[in-house]
Structures are given as C-alpha cells and as structure tokens.
C-alpha cells in the first residue's frame, strides 16, 4: 500500500542528506514531491536520479517568502528540513544562522498557514545544551550552549505559536546524530581521514564526547509515521536510539569494520569546537509509545551499510 499516494508534499532542504533520502522514499510511496533547496549545503547529485522519477526540484531559498509560497501552494504536508546546521558556523555567524533557521522557519509556517499544510519541523537535540539527565526526555529544560541550538529552540516556539493561534498541525523532532550514505559529521570525517591516511586517525577533542547515532532509514521512518499520525500534531519527539557511543569508541569501531590494523589514534584535547555538546543520549520512549516507532538499525550494522555503499 502506498501511504502517500498522490499526496502533494514539499521537502525544504530536499537536496540535503536527510531530505534527499526522504524524497526518495516519498516518491516510492506514490507522493507528488517537490524538493525545495538553494543548494547552500545540499547537493544536486543526491537527487539527480529522482528528477527522472517525478521529483519536482525548486532551487530557491527559504528566506524568500514569495518563492516559498508559490512552491507550497497546493501541498498537504511540508517537511521543513532546510537549515544552517553547523554549530561552529553558528557561533561565528549568529546573524546568518538566525536568518536561515528562525526567519526561514517563520516563512515556512506562513506558507503552511496559507496552504493549510501539516508541518514536520526538524529541530535538534542541541536545544538541551549539556543536560544532566541522561537519557534526556522531551520534558527536560532547554538550555542551548550554541547559537544553532538557540535558533532551533526559537523555531520550536514559533511552531507552537502557529499551532495554538492558527490551528496549524505541527510536529517537532529533536534530532540526535543521523548518519548513513552521503552523511556529514564525525563518521564522515573519520572515514575520509582513514581513506587518506589508513595508519592514523586524529580525533578532535578528548574522544570522550559521546553521541546517540541514529541511522538514516530510521530517521526517514519516523518522519513518515508522524506525517500521517493523528496523535502527532502539537508534539515534540526525540529521534535517537537510546544508546550513546564515545567518538573514541566510534573510531575504533570504524577501524575494525574497515579491517585496518596498527592504526595510531590521537586526540587534539580540549573541546572539539565552541558550542560542542559533551554527551547526547535520547530518551525515545515518547516516539516509541505515540508513533509506534522503534529504531531498527544498530550502529555497527549502520556503519557496515554506509561503508559498503562507498558514499562518504
């Protein structure tokens, strides 16, 4: 059964890592999909083959409300994934970070209001800062330590306001560390370093910083479930596995899967970058209970899938 058959759907950030994977699955589900992306960080080659399969690509910016309104005019669902996602960039460029992540989100909400579309908003675990409670539930107080986390929290607050005052159906996701083919972040960094110098791996920070890694297919699955769930609007969900792995352990795991031997691992020490979180660990029980969603792919299995794909 094609759950999204003939549904008009827009994915902002549709040429990005998560967005391109989502577009692919939505097309398989029979949806009429528009990928809206300015290619700021998205890549055309992520979605090139999808255009032949019916994907409508609009190269525009979420900071352009006129273009956004035109692209979303008849849609039923907007997956709002477009964002400035770099923590270091946000600390150096707070104004641009705000323009994309806050003003851009308001533009999406305005467009959704006119179209009467449900919005799925990609927030981040960065809204928690460095929480003392781990696993961290959605009820834990938010205290971002980076502008990126702050703009995501502001985006959430705008979402709630639009839901309460205009009756929009909005679902928010505090996404932990998503990975898979064509990903970015620590896993991508380690694989590329080891490809260049298979006998050594330098890890930023102490190596003790720890992450809750969730595989891309599990990420796409929760977005699809929430898009049609009657219980989802007005809710915020953690998207994580409920397990955490230090980046030092991650490095060793990748080295083992690659079959490399005698690799010298070194650490730069201190904080990897300004605004970097110490440990991320999701309490995902709300998503499990409300959406009947459960992560299916373990970290080791996901790393093997990524490495065998060669897309890094």
Active site (catalytic) residues = 148
Strand, helix or coil for residue 187: helix
Residue closest to 43 by CA, chosen among 63, 21, 75: 21
For 90, the enclosing helix (H) or strand (E) is: helix 87-92
Residue closest to 170 by CA, chosen among 161, 181, 183: 161
Packed helices 44-51 and 17-28: angle between N→C axes, nearest 10 degrees: 10
DSSP 5: T
Q: Give the angle 289-24-250 at the CA atoms, nearest 5°.
A: 65
For 96, the enclosing helix (H) or strand (E) is: helix 94-98
- Which residues are bridge partners to 236 per DSSP? 172
Asked whether the beta carbons of 152 and 124 are under 8 A apart, the reply is yes
In sequence order, what are the residues at sequence separation of 6 or more whose Cβ sits closer than 8 angstroms to the Cβ of residue 203?
Answer: 190, 247, 248, 251, 265, 266, 267, 268
Residue closest to 181 by CA, chosen among 14, 306, 22, 46: 306
Ramachandran class of 115: left when φ > 0, alpha when ψ lies in -120 to 50, beta otherwise:
alpha
Residue entry with tokens 């959605």: 138
Strand, helix or coil for residue 68: helix
Q: Determine if the peptide bond prior to 5 is cis (ω within 30°).
A: no
The full length of the chain comes to 312
In sequence order, what are the residues at sequence separation of 6 or more whose Cβ sits closer than 8 angstroms to the Cβ of residue 119?
Answer: 77, 78, 80, 108, 109, 112, 159, 162, 168, 169, 170, 171
């Amino acid at each position: 059964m094609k759950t999204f058959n003939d549904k008009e759907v827009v994915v902002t950030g549709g040429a990005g890592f998560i967005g391109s994977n989502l577009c692919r699955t939505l097309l398989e589900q029979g949806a009429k999909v528009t990928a809206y992306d300015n290619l700021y960080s998205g890549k055309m080659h992520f979605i090139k083959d999808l255009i032949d399969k019916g994907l409508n690509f609009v190269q525009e910016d979420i900071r352009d409300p006129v273009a956004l309104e035109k692209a979303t005019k008849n849609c039923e669902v907007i997956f709002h994934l477009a964002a400035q996602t770099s923590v270091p960039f946000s600390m150096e460029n707070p104004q641009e970070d705000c323009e994309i992540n806050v003003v851009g989100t308001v533009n999406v909400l305005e467009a959704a209001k006119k179209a009467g579309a449900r919005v799925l908003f990609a927030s981040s675990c960065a809204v928690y800062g460095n929480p003392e409670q781990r696993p961290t539930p959605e009820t834990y107080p938010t205290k971002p330590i980076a502008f990126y986390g702050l703009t995501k929290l502001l985006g959430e607050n705008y979402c709630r306001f639009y839901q309460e005052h205009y009756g929009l159906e909005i679902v928010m996701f505090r996404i932990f560390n998503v990975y898979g083919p064509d990903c970015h972040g620590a896993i991508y960094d380690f694989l590329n370093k080891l490809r260049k110098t298979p006998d050594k791996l330098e890890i930023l920070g102490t190596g003790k910083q720890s992450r809750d890694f969730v595989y891309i297919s599990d990420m796409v699955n929760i977005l699809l479930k929430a898009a049609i769930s009657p219980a989802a609007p007005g809710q915020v969900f953690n998207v994580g596995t409920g397990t955490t792995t230090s980046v030092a352990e991650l490095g060793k795991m990748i080295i083992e899967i690659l079959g490399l031997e005698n690799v010298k691992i070194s650490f730069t020490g201190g904080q990897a970058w300004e605004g970097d979180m110490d440990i991320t660990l999701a309490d995902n029980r709300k998503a499990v209970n409300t959406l009947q969603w459960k992560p299916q792919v373990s970290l080791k299995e996901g790393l093997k899938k990524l490495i065998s794909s060669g897309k890094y």
